[in-house]
Chain A
Amino acid sequence: MKMLVFAENWDGIFKKSSFEAISYSRGLAEQNNYELITLCFNNVSEDELNKLSKYGSSMVITTNPIDKVDSISMSKMISDLTIQHDIKLFVFSSTYSSKMFAPRLSAKLNSSIFTNVVELPSSVNPLQLKKKVFSSKAFEIAKSSSEKNIIMLHPNSYGVKEFSSDLKSSEFTAESNSEIEIINIEKSSGKVNLSEAEIVVSAGRGMKGPENWELIEELANCLNAATACSKPVSDIGWRPHSEHVGQTGKTVAPNLYFAIGISGAIQHLAGVNSSKVMVAINTDPEASFFKAAHYGIVGDAFNVVPKLIEEIKNIKN
Chain B
Amino acid sequence: MKIAVCISCVPDTTSKINFTENNTEFNKEGIQFIINPNDEFGLTKAIFIKEKNQAEVIVVSVGESSIEPVLRKALAIGADSAVRIDNKAKDSICVAKNLSSFLVENKFDLIIMGKESADYNGGIVHGIVAENIGMQFVNACVGLEISDNSYIIDREMEGGTEKVKIKSPVIIAGQKGLVEEKDLKIPNMRGIMQARTKPLNVLESESFDFIQSIEFSKPSENKECVFIDEENVAELVKILNEKEKVL
CB of B32 closer than 8 Å to a CB of A? no
Residues of A within 8 A of B163 (CB): 182-186
- Report the minimal beta-carbon distance from A313 to chain B, rounded to whole angstroms: 10
Asked if B96 is an interface residue, CB under 8 A from chain A, the answer is yes
Number of interface residues of B (CB under 8 A): 80
Task: Judge if B223 is at the interface, Cβ distance under 8 Å.
Answer: yes
Most A Cβ at <10 Å: residue of B26, B118, B119, B124? B124
Query: Is B17 a contact of A256 with CB atoms below 8 Å?
Result: no
Question: Within 8 Å CB of A105, what residues of B?
Answer: 131
Does A312 lie within 8 Å of B247, measured CB to CB? yes
User: Which residues of the partner chain B approach A277 to less than 8 Å between Cβ atoms?
Assistant: 240, 244, 246
Nearest-CB distance from A195 to chain B (Å)? 6
Q: Which residue of A lies closest to B226 (CB)?
A: A295
Name the residue on B nearest A295 (C-beta): B226
Inter-chain CA distance A79–B214, complex, in Å, is 29
For residue A69, CB closer than 8 A to chain B, the reply is yes
Given contacts A134-B121, A295-B228, are A104 and B136 in contact (CB under 8 A)? Answer: no
Which of B14, B130, B219 meets A138, CB within 8 Å? B219
Complex interface: chain A residues within 8 A of B81 (CB): none
Evaluate contact between B121 and A133: CB separation under 8 angstroms.
Answer: yes
Q: Is the CB of B210 within 8 A of A144?
A: yes
Q: Tell me the dominant secondary structure on chain B's binding face.
A: mixed
Whether A141 and B160, one on each chain, are in contact in the complex, defined by CB atoms closer than 8 angstroms, is no
Are the CB atoms of B17 and A315 closer together than 8 Å? no
- Binding site secondary structure of chain A: mixed
Are B137 and A299 touching (Cβ within 8 A)? no
Chain A count of residues within 8 A CB distance of the other chain? 98
> Contacts A139-B218, A242-B156, A297-B228 known; A279 to B236 CB distance under 8 Å?
yes
8 A Cβ contacts from A175-207 to B: 179-188, 191, 193, 195-196, 198-199
Interface string of A55-98 (1 = CB under 8 A from B): 00000000000001111100100000000000000000011110
Given pairs A107-B96, A111-B210, A186-B161, 17 additional interface contacts (CB within 8 A): A71-B136, A94-B123, A99-B124, A101-B127, A102-B124, A104-B131, A139-B216, A140-B213, A145-B209, A179-B166, A185-B162, A186-B162, A267-B13, A277-B244, A280-B225, A297-B236, A314-B237
A-B CB proximity, top 9 nearest:
A103-B127, A299-B230, A107-B131, A103-B124, A187-B160, A256-B246, A183-B163, A307-B233, A104-B131
Tell me the B residues contacting A by CB distance below 8 Å.
Answer: 11, 13-14, 17, 19, 26, 37-38, 92-93, 96, 118-128, 130-132, 136-140, 142, 152, 155-167, 175-177, 181-182, 209-219, 222-223, 225-230, 233-234, 236-241, 244, 246-247
